[in-house]
Amino acid sequence: MCGLIWKDFLVLRKTLRLYVLFLLGYLGMALLGIFDLTFVTAFCAVILMILPISAFSYDEFARWDRYARTLPLSPRQLVGGRYLFVLLLMLAVAAIGAVSAVLLSFTGSADLWESLGTQLVSLGAALFIVDVMFPLNYRLGPEKARPFLFAVTFLPFILLFLLSKADILDLSFLDRLQPSQAAAGFALVPLAALAGLAVSFLVSCRVAERKEY
């Protein structure tokens, strides 16, 4: 299992280095007051959302799935390695986001609780997208599943916007919450996404066990 996780990190190492450089650049400019912390928050969410999905494209290009089925590993173990990779990546991104929020709070550039709340919502939203996209990638492959990525990413925001404009959904209560209260409430978003990740894992295992390569 450790070898599967290490394989994903090695395959994506160049992309990871590039993302880390961008992230450090955004953090530096946020500390200087050039950019807002939302740039760092958004980029953390992009890392969590894009990198695991990109791993499927690399696997398809290298025909990894066919080779992996010759190894003494069950489909559940192969799928589990990819999901553990997501969890490790999420922990790393969350740690970077938390450190960024603390640093900016010390400089007075941002409120700590507001920054943490934004981080939690962004990471939770990115993880929800991963929850949906992983089974689709196992079922359809990365090329056919790619159009669904745009739908899963943008449709929820469009729906929230339309419901808010039609006065069906009232989000004004968020403005009345204290930053610490909002951060505590927003912590439910990544927790719900983690629960969804468990369901997503079971679905992906079922798909991988039935798929023929």
Can you tell me the distance from the alpha carbon of 180 to that of 88, in angstroms, rounded to the nearest whole number? 26
User: pTM of the entire structure?
Assistant: 0.84
Average pLDDT of the residues in 9-14: 85
On average, the pLDDT of the chain sits at 81
Share of the chain above pLDDT 70, in %: 84
pLDDT value at 199 more than 90: yes
Confidence of residue 170 (pLDDT cuts 50, 70, 90): low
Determine contact, residues 16/48, Cβ cutoff 8 Å.
no
Determine contact, residues 33/109, Cβ cutoff 8 Å.
yes
Determine contact, residues 163/83, Cβ cutoff 8 Å.
no
* pLDDT tens per residue across span 21-56: 887 887 777 777 776 767 777 777 888 788 888 889
* pLDDT tens per residue across span 78-131: 999 999 999 998 888 888 888 877 877 777 666 777 777 778 888 888 899 999
Average pLDDT of the residues in 136-161: 83
